[in-house]
Amino acid sequence: MKILILSNRVPFPQNGGYPIVVRNTILGLVNEGHEVSVFTLNNKKQRTDIQNDDSLIKRIYYQSYDVDISISIWDIFINLFRKKTYSIDRFYDVGFERLLITELKRTKYDIIQFEGLFMSSYIGAIRKNSDAKLIYRAHNIEHLIWKRLSEQKNDPIKKTYLSLLARRIKGFELKYLHSFDAIAALTLQDKQQMLQFGVDVPIRVLPVGIDLTRYEPDHHKTEFPSLFFLGALDWMPNREGMEWFLDNFSADITDGDLRVKFYVAGHNIPDAFDDYEVMGKIFIQGEVDDALEFVNSKAIMVVPLLSGGGMRVKIVEAMAMEKCIITTSLGAEGIRYESGKNIVIADNRNEFFDAIKRCISDESFCRQIGINARQLIQQDHDTNVVTARFISFYNELLKA
């Protein structure tokens, strides 16, 4: 098959959930002998130069196009008085569209896969210039993220703005969900939501796949007990959850019954988080050179997700590294977990406190949770397993 993948950000290197999902999809398809092209937007202000970064690029046809998708305070203000969804519209670029059209006239593709909602603006031009089956990869249901964020806010101005943004994105999202030939959802929950919205195109649940050869836990290098968080804190659900956790547990960690060090790492951590740092107790580390080495060096991952959607790739990765993970039901969404067996679910402050206290005092319990977690990832999230299901889905659509 000839497959074109459209990405709203450069999927190299694997420095976040989105690029991990997209790159592993590409890797799986290429390893199975399919011809893969990747066309991606590349934000000028955070430009990714991948010339010497990833050997996978040599095995695909790759095009990167510079765009400016940054948002200013002025843009946010002006958006209040427009009916357009600026958070999505900024990903549309007429030059990139021309590049796509030129490619579609040059090459006949069997499958064109849109990695997320932000590439949907190009579907009209692609329909006019290609007979390929168009697949929408739903990394989440975008408007629900903003809706859940608005519900968590007490500030009436923030609440109103986020609610307005959620309604606008919902209108765009529901319009485009009906426009594809099929949808690949990361979670069963997202599929069920789409069906409730009346989406009548084929929907297949195809979860996050990871290359398990990259994940080699070494428990001799793990500090026990220790707590850690790893994630991008410019993504609002992560920031909201981490602020809630630190506001609720800083005192317990520094002066209370939770005698454990807590490490926070990830890119784009706001300067305000420096105020949470406590010498010898709470460490705000920022971006780390090697994410997997960081994960390996710590024992217990906390993911206090209060809003958001889709599947948390960092949780899947940490499970592959045999980590004991404490998260909310929402954080574990899409993972076939059993609380107390391969993950620990905590949905409020008391449950988080009890879970942390048990985990930091029982190393054998944490180790067994981690072993069971790795087994689950091998069964459900190995790239080879997920890729086989993708190819089967593609073949069904092409025969229909």
- Same structural domain, 368 and 332: yes
- Same structural domain, 57 and 88: yes
- Same structural domain, 28 and 168: yes
**Phi, psi at 228, each rounded to 5°:** -150, 155
Q: What is the pLDDT of residues 361-393, one digit of tens each?
A: 999 999 999 999 999 999 999 999 999 999 999
Classify residue 9 by its DSSP letter: S
Query: What's the pLDDT at 342?
Result: 98
- Same structural domain, 232 and 252: yes
The candidate with the shortest Cα–Cα distance to 242, out of 179, 371, 328, 320, is 328
Distance CA 365, CA 375 (A): 16
- Same structural domain, 240 and 324: yes
Distance CA 198, CA 196 (A): 5
DSSP string across 21-49: HHHHHHHHHHHTT-EEEEEEEEEGGG---
Higher-scoring residue by pLDDT: 397, 268? 397
- Same structural domain, 121 and 248: no
- Same structural domain, 313 and 373: yes
The set of residues, in sequence order, having a beta carbon less than 8 Å from that of 88 and lying 6+ positions away, is: 117, 118, 120, 121, 169, 172
Q: What is the pLDDT of residues 310-329, one digit of tens each?
A: 779 999 999 999 999 999 99
Range of the domain at 77: 2-209+382-399
Q: How many domains does the chain have?
A: 2
- Same structural domain, 19 and 160: yes
- Same structural domain, 356 and 392: no
- Same structural domain, 223 and 311: yes
- Same structural domain, 240 and 280: yes
For the chain, the farthest-separated pair of C-alpha atoms sits apart, in whole angstroms, at 66
- Same structural domain, 33 and 68: yes
Distance CA 161, CA 270 (A): 21
CATH number of the domain to which 305 belongs? 3.40.50.2000
Q: What is the pLDDT of residues 333-353, one digit of tens each?
A: 999 999 999 999 999 999 999
Residue type, 387: T
